[in-house]
């Protein structure tokens, strides 16, 4: 038993598989959302609006509009001054006079010729230019008659009236000039519009800047944008950013995906064209009949049944033999292979010394193997070649439980993890050529504990993204 692994597993050093799996799934979902947002027009719009609404000029305008009132404004002062002048008694009398019939009558008499005869007679009498007494008497009588007329009487008295004197005084006054100027201003459409605007308590809410700020906040608070902001300046998404999924099987169909897996050993297919068993093994491979997808999980089943198979005999070569057990072997050879990357799989740890469940990488040369998982007669992970191996014991894990086994394969280095806990590293004699995935379940010695199942929940292979 691996004491290290036992202690880690017992005291929480190996994290919960469900939590690890949930975290991985969540991370990839977040990465997909992050990537979509990163390329979206919405993010471009947000960044443009963010720059605008955070500018000092924008903040200043917002503060001004929120505090802007009619009270205390230049418009209010103009209106107050106008109303004050409007109540001015002298101006009121001025406008009354200006609109009066008396002023019109006076100006008509003054500008017209109705009084020309009166002024002519008055000038002649004053100058003494009348030649005869008889003519003087006649003209004087005419003059007195005109002088007593209502027009002449009115014309002589009206200029002396208080109303007319006030009219003349106010006509050239500063008050009247200011009043008229203010009247033009306060009665204009522009002034009325501005007054209404200043009296509106929702000036900010009706501004185009408010619409932009509202849109900015709407975008900023969108869940996907918030997720983007959460990760933007962190390294939390470094894995999905730097690694891409190049192979995956979640076994969610009704049968094994033939585009991903073959049920014939890669080397058997290349040599004799059909499956064969190694010397000492007790099983025959059934070409996929012992493989099933059940509950979105791959199961390789070992059964007690008679089945003919080729068996490799070190002396005689391949001989046909009736085997007492059946099993299966699966490979991606010829369908998928990769050089360097991360292989991970969720596998049930179900050790039984009579069997050997193996998940490994192998290449064309069929010598060196990278064992992601071995369970049974030997329960370990690591590197093996011919009759030698360099591994780490899995004894100490909880039987019957699912774990996520990972293998990080780099140039000159391979490391193994269980539920993200790194446990073993090899830096010598590591492969530097493409390899493919292989799964098999072997019968090492007779067993009554049948059927036996090799359960795999899912498989994934990642490679570094190309820049």
Say which CATH topology domain 247-464 has: Jelly Rolls (2.60.120)
38 or 126, greater pLDDT: 38
Q: How confident is the model at residue 138 (pLDDT cuts 50, 70, 90)?
A: confident
Q: At what angle do helices 89-98 and 101-111 cross, to 10 degrees?
A: 60
The DSSP output letter for 463 is E
Task: Tally Cβ neighbours within 10 Å of residue 400.
Answer: 10
Q: Which two tokens stand for residue 95?
A: 């406008």
Task: Tally Cβ neighbours within 10 Å of residue 395.
Answer: 15
Residue 1 above 60 pLDDT?
no
- List residues bridging with 345 in a β-sheet: 405, 459
Q: What percent of the chain has pLDDT over 90?
A: 84
Select from 345, 405, 292, 420 the least CA-distant residue to 19: 420
Mean pLDDT, residues 191-220 taken together: 95
Residue 10 above 80 pLDDT?
no
Helix (H) or strand (E) holding 381: strand 380-385
55 or 396, greater pLDDT: 55
Per DSSP bridges, beta strands 452-464 and 341-349 are antiparallel
Q: At what angle do helices 174-186 and 162-171 cross, to 10 degrees?
A: 70
Mean pLDDT, residues 17-25 taken together: 94
Q: Which two tokens stand for residue 330?
A: 């699966």
pLDDT in tens, 64-88: 999 999 999 999 999 999 999 999 9
Does residue 356 sit in helix, strand or coil? strand
Q: How many residues does the chain have?
A: 467
pLDDT in tens, 233-254: 999 999 999 999 999 999 998 8
Whole-prediction pTM = 0.75
Q: Which two tokens stand for residue 107?
A: 């100006």
pLDDT in tens, 354-370: 999 999 999 988 789 99
Q: How far apart are CA 140 and CA 143, in angstroms?
A: 5
pLDDT in tens, 256-279: 999 999 999 999 999 999 999 998
Domain boundaries, the chain: 74-199, 247-464
| Beta-strand runs (E) in 233-282 | 243-249, 276-277
Cβ neighbours of residue 461 closer than 8 Å, sequence gap 6 or more: 245, 246, 247, 248, 336, 338, 341, 342, 343, 344, 437
Q: What pLDDT, on the 0 to 100 scale, is given for residue 2?
A: 64
Task: Tally Cβ neighbours within 10 Å of residue 259.
Answer: 8
Residue 283 above 90 pLDDT?
yes
């Amino acid at each position: 038993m691996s004491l290290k692994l036992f202690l880690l597993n017992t005291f929480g050093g190996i994290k919960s598989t469900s939590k690890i799996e949930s975290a991985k799934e969540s991370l990839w979902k977040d990465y997909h959302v992050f990537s979509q947002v990163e390329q979206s027009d919405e993010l471009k719009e947000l960044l443009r609006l963010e720059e605008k609404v955070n500018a000092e000029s924008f903040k200043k305008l917002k503060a001004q509009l929120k505090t802007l009132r009619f009270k205390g404004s230049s418009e209010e002062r103009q209106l107050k001054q106008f109303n004050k002048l409007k109540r001015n008694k002298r101006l009121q009398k001025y406008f009354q006079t200006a609109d009066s019939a008396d002023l019109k009558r006076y100006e008509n008499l003054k500008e017209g010729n109705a009084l020309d005869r009166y002024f002519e007679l008055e000038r002649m009498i004053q100058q003494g230019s009348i030649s005869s007494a008889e003519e003087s008497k006649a003209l004087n009588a005419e003059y007195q008659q005109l002088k007593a007329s209502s027009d002449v009487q009115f014309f002589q008295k009206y200029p002396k009236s208080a109303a007319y004197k006030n009219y003349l005084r106010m006509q050239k006054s500063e008050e009247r000039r200011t009043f008229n100027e203010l009247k033009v201003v306060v009665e204009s459409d522009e002034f009325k519009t501005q007054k209404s605007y200043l009296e509106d308590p929702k000036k900010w809410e009706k501004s185009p800047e408010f619409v932009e700020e509202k849109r900015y906040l709407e975008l900023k608070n969108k869940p996907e944008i918030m997720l983007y902001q959460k990760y933007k300046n962190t390294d939390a998404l470094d894995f999905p950013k730097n690694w891409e999924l190049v192979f995956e099987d979640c076994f969610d169909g009704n049968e094994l995906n033939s585009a991903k897996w073959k049920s014939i050993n890669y080397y058997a297919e290349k040599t004799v064209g059909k499956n064969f068993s190694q010397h000492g093994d007790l099983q025959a491979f059934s070409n996929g009949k012992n493989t099933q997808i059940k509950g979105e999980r791959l199961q390789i089943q070992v059964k007690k049944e008679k089945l003919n198979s080729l068996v490799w005999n070190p002396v005689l070569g391949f001989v046909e033999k009736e085997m007492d057990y059946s099993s299966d072997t699966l490979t991606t050879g010829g369908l998928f292979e990769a050089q360097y990357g991360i292989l991970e799989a969720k596998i049930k740890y179900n050790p039984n010394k009579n069997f050997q469940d193996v998940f490994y990488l192998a290449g064309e040369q069929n010598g060196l193997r990278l064992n992601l998982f071995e369970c049974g007669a030997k329960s370990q992970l690591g590197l093996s070649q011919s009759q030698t191996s360099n591994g780490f014991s899995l004894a100490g894990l909880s039987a019957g439980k699912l774990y996520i086994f990972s293998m990080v394969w780099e140039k000159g280095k391979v490391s193994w993890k269980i539920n993200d806990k790194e446990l073993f590293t090899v830096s010598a004699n590591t492969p530097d050529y493409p390899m493919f995935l292989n799964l098999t379940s072997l019968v090492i010695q007779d067993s009554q504990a049948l059927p036996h199942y090799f359960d795999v929940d899912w498989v994934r292979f990642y490679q570094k993204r190309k820049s």
